[in-house]
């Protein structure tokens, strides 16, 4: 099969600049290899470009939950609360990014890793309530936790809560700020929580080795790499793409605009949360398809908007969304948050 011809056919609709960028990526240029990223020598580091964008947006809307990443887990069976708390502490110890805060020094934000602290996991006991009222309370706490503002300067940027519905039924709430996590990393967190919890309950050591690099190492590497001509090329490309008068997109299909665009920010705060069941009370039974649904119902609205944006993209030449995206220009290590 002529793969070059096939790829040319598949990318024929792209602009010359996008085709050149794609070819560069396929040749491996501009991607990060783990061996190329050295460990930094200090606890503090500059923000990556993605973190800088998220930090800036937080300054504009410090109380907005748009960049919060909530996860809801339902535990069926005997749950060892102390073991769950110890597991979360072990994960935060392994991943520096989960212990990172973002103070401003000399007018510039930096990321600083703090020492490991006990992970606070408050427990709310709802056993005294009727079953239907318990579920309503779970919804209340899930939404409240997901919308509670984060303090990027003081941290922590990972928080949790455990709700006891019955002796053998619990709901766990975990919320992270997007500046320290993304969709991929949430999956890493859940899988590590499964393995670590099982090890703690069985009295075994942590099953995960020390990470060769941390996210702050990547941020330093990115800042050092994207300078001069490399950074200039990217800036030139995006200035061309975003320069001039930007088109007004009509969402909702056809010529129908949004019915009330001004109400969109408030509607994001009214999102509900779904829960993911853990079969047989065994945390090790969590599968990606389970935790991937533990997100805002607003994700459905985001997906619908993405469909509209995709349709508009055919006419406007390119649009950007605000979904949580990975913080990496290249995959460095599948275990790094």
Residue 138: which pLDDT band, with cuts at 50, 70 and 90? very high
Cβ atoms of residues 125 and 164 within 8 Å:
yes
pLDDT of residue 65: 96
Q: What is the pLDDT of residues 14-27, one digit of tens each?
A: 777 676 777 766 66
Task: Give the integer Cα–Cα distance in Å for 81 and 108.
Answer: 40
Query: What is the helix (H) or strand (E) element at residue 235, kind and residue range?
Result: helix 228-242
- Nearest to residue 271, comparing CAs of 302, 310, 306, 309? 302
| pLDDT higher at 241 or 89 | 89
Instruction: Identify the pLDDT of residue 41.
Output: 82
> Which of 136-140, 195-199, 232-236, 249-253 has the least mean pLDDT?
249-253
Q: Strands, E, within the chain: which ranges?
A: 44-46, 68-76, 100-101, 104-105, 108-113, 123-125, 158-166, 169-177, 276-278
- 72 pLDDT band (50/70/90 cuts)? very high
Residue 45's pLDDT band (boundaries 50, 70, 90)?
very high
Please check the confidence at residue 101 and state whether its pLDDT lies above 50: yes
pLDDT of the residue at 278? 42
Of 225 and 89, the structure prediction assigns the larger pLDDT to 89
| pLDDT band, very low/low/confident/very high, at 297 (cuts 50, 70, 90) | very low
Residue with tokens 């990470």: 211
Burial readout 129-158 (b: 16 or more C-beta within 10 A, e: otherwise): eeeeebeeebeebbbebbbeebebeebbbb
The full length of the chain comes to 337
How many other β-carbons are positioned within 10 Å of the β-carbon of residue 176?
Answer: 26
Task: Decide if pLDDT at 304 tops 60.
Answer: no
Mean pLDDT, the chain, whole residue set: 76
Mean pLDDT lowest for which of 26-40, 256-270, 275-289?
A: 275-289
Backbone angles phi, psi at 30, to 5 degrees: 80, 5
Please tell me the predicted confidence (pLDDT) of residue 286. 36
Mean pLDDT, residues 102-119: 92
User: Alpha-carbon distance 14 to 10, whole Å?
Assistant: 9
Residue 24: per-residue pLDDT: 66
**Highest-scoring range by mean pLDDT, 107-121, 232-246, 298-312:** 107-121
**54: confidence class by pLDDT, cuts 50, 70, 90:** very high
DSSP per residue over 41-62, as a string? SSSEEEPPHHHHHHHHHHHH-T
Cβ neighbours, 10 Å, residue 88: 24
Q: Is the pLDDT of residue 185 over 80?
A: yes
Nearest to 177 by CA among 12, 327, 17: 327
CA 52, CA 71: separation in Å to the nearest integer?
24
What's the pLDDT score for residue 64? Answer: 95
180-191: burial string, b at 16+ Cβ within 10 Å, e else:
bbbebbbebbbb
Q: What is the pTM assigned to this prediction?
A: 0.68
Please tell me the distance from the alpha carbon of residue 238 to that of residue 318, in angstroms, as a whole number: 11
**According to CATH, what is the number of the domain 32-239+274-298?**
3.30.559.10
The region, left, alpha or beta by phi > 0 then psi within -120 to 50, assigned to residue 328 is beta
- 146-176 per-position pLDDT tens digit: 999 999 999 999 999 999 999 999 999 999 9
pLDDT computed for residue 9 by the predictor: 52
């Amino acid at each position: 099969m002529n793969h070059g011809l096939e790829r040319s056919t598949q990318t024929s609709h792209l602009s010359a600049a996008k085709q050149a960028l794609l070819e560069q990526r396929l040749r491996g240029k501009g991607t990060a290899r783990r061996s190329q990223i050295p460990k930094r020598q200090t606890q503090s580091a500059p923000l990556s470009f993605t973190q800088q964008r998220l930090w800036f947006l937080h300054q504009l809307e410090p109380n907005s939950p748009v960049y919060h990443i909530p996860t809801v887990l339902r535990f069926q069976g005997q749950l060892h609360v102390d073991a769950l708390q110890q597991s979360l502490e072990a994960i935060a110890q392994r991943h520096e990014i989960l212990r990172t805060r973002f103070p401003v020094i000399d007018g510039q934000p930096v990321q600083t890793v703090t020492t490991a602290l006990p992970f606070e996991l408050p427990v709310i006991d709802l056993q005294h309530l009727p079953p239907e009222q318990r579920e309503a309370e779970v919804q209340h706490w899930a939404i409240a936790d997901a919308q509670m503002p984060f303090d990027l300067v003081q941290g922590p940027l990972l928080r949790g809560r455990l709700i006891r519905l019955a002796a053998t039924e619990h709901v766990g709430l975990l919320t992270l700020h997007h500046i320290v996590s993304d969709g991929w990393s949430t999956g890493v967190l859940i899988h590590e929580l499964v393995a670590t919890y099982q090890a703690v309950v069985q009295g075994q050591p942590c099953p995960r080795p020390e990470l060769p690099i941390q996210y702050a190492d990547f941020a330093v590497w990115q800042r050092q790499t994207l300078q001069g001509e490399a950074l200039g090329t990217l800036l030139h490309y995006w200035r061309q793409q975003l320069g001039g008068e930007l088109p007004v997109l009509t969402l909702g299909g056809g010529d129908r605009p949004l019915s009330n665009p001004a109400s969109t920010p408030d509607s994001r705060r009214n999102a509900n949360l779904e829960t993911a069941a853990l079969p047989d009370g065994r945390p090790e039974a969590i599968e990606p398809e389970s935790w991937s649904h533990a997100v805002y119902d607003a994700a459905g609205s985001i997906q619908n908007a993405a469909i509209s944006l995709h349709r508009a993209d055919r006419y406007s030449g390119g649009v950007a969304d605000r979904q949580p995206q990975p913080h990496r220009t290249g995959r460095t290590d599948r275990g790094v948050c």
